Structure 1
């Protein structure tokens, strides 16, 4: 008997194939690192977000083992029932202390992942009757948080400070919230955070910033985008992820104590989910110690050297490297099939670079998304640059 629903889905999947939009997974058999083994073959990877190369750091791996021996494998309940362990409490205290230089009276709240953290903070701060001002290139989690909030959503163009100023000036809402990424995950550029904060101060608005790709990487001490641009205010609400530069898993919101207490009481994605395993929180204490110490500073310096090397070595003819000083280095190719072909050629040469297509990016802007890590060597970056230049010379 034919299932018409399955037939419809199968047809839609074929349409994805026709447009070069079907996503497929590869299975890695080794820890996250530049040198991977996939299906028994060695591959040099430039597609993870392990910006400081901490995902397989021996001290963090040992801390994870220690955390499992101390706290077991799982938490067993939500944080507000019985799942909030000593490890979670210690991590939140350390994160609050870590972020004090950029957030007054900072307190932190730990989440299972960044997607949930963004859903939580946007929907809890921007309830019905709020005017919510969203950057056009915000991450999907911020977009979904806006939908969940039931606020009135106003979208401003990428980096368009003047447009945002006009929207804020025209708003008569008693609660205003501006929401933006810091480092944009597909372009690698940085939001004009100082200008955005100035507008929020002028119009009595919150500024919620997703610093998923800045925490641990930007700033002299790795405190992220706020340290990098030198802003400090009780209006700032900060989301940092702990599965990218920190090398483990989870995310956190850091803000004034009053904001965090509100989230604790009202953020549904926090209240109604099982807490992450305490062992992860225990391991993250070691991650923070590395990020904020001499080793973290050395890794950030090395990463910045690799970024400069990559950009200086490119010899592009038809493609375009976007202006990014971060670990995210996109190369715009344009057509989906050409982007997939370029990625396939690189993979055939033993180099794995992500091919990003719509709907993640706008139609006609498909790209190779190169991500650099402090775990890469200069020789590995040279190998990548040479391979890309050969593609352009062909």
Structure 2
């Protein structure tokens, strides 16, 4: 009787506002606490042979990770257990990108931010929860296009007959966001990353995120001819349906653009990347013999000789991955990682960046070990 009274008291803390999913294996409801405006998401999962182990994994994960801001409560009530999370509203990726709108760089950026959010919000959770978080309908975008997660469990992952694979669902999300590019032979880098993800060759999400960032950055470095080739590859079916007059107008516009580029345009800054993960493609650009221009009106800046002997990341130094959080700066990162903000220029130089521009949230940095970096600072 005492246990039943305690259970009823716990469930009475939440008032049901609406039901999202109601099946034999799962009931997901939008709830709230009496007197509070904050909306919550309640996942009710009946106790079973598989779900008892799932409940234990959830309990262990959330008792170890107090910094999980989306988590609210976890308790058992009779023959069921409940997982309570904050409820976010917004358009899901399933709604916003059903027709694959927008350019490749924008969709790739949102995909990178979504994977980073799943990584930070789903680490150490049961694989069935990670699979649920990777569903397009559970990844939301608010008005400022911030990525939010809807911790709505999926009933098919509790039947015991289907199961799930984190990398299978990650590849499915990548295919959903980039299905147009994955069919295009020009986007070989994205196709190679997708195949590696589908085969489960990545050991975690940060390396995948880093490769996707390299592929995204390469789009801005390609020249006019590759861009024009990619444009015609993506739109050849539509162009075939355009009238001859439209084709003539398009051709004249391309001629004007080409003449303008040859007479007054600037040369492309670089070539596409040559290495993504385990896959090599294309030809790299040699940087030897490049010309450095200097503003004669500005006094020459002193070179920091201490960093000139730093080797490339793949040579001598041992480094660790660090994912930039919102609000991080070079000084705060080095203060937290090395214990001193004075390491900021060296850490930025090691990553090929400048301390004058703070790293963006979601960027994966490589930070050398403190003792090794200090050795080069003393040289």
**Coarse TM-score class (shorter-chain normalised):** under 0.3
TM-score in terms of structure 2 length: 0.26
Larger relative contact order (Cα-Cα within 8 Å, sequence gap ≥ 6): 1
Which of these two proteins has the greater Rg computed from alpha carbons? 2
Q: TM-score, normalised by structure 1?
A: 0.26
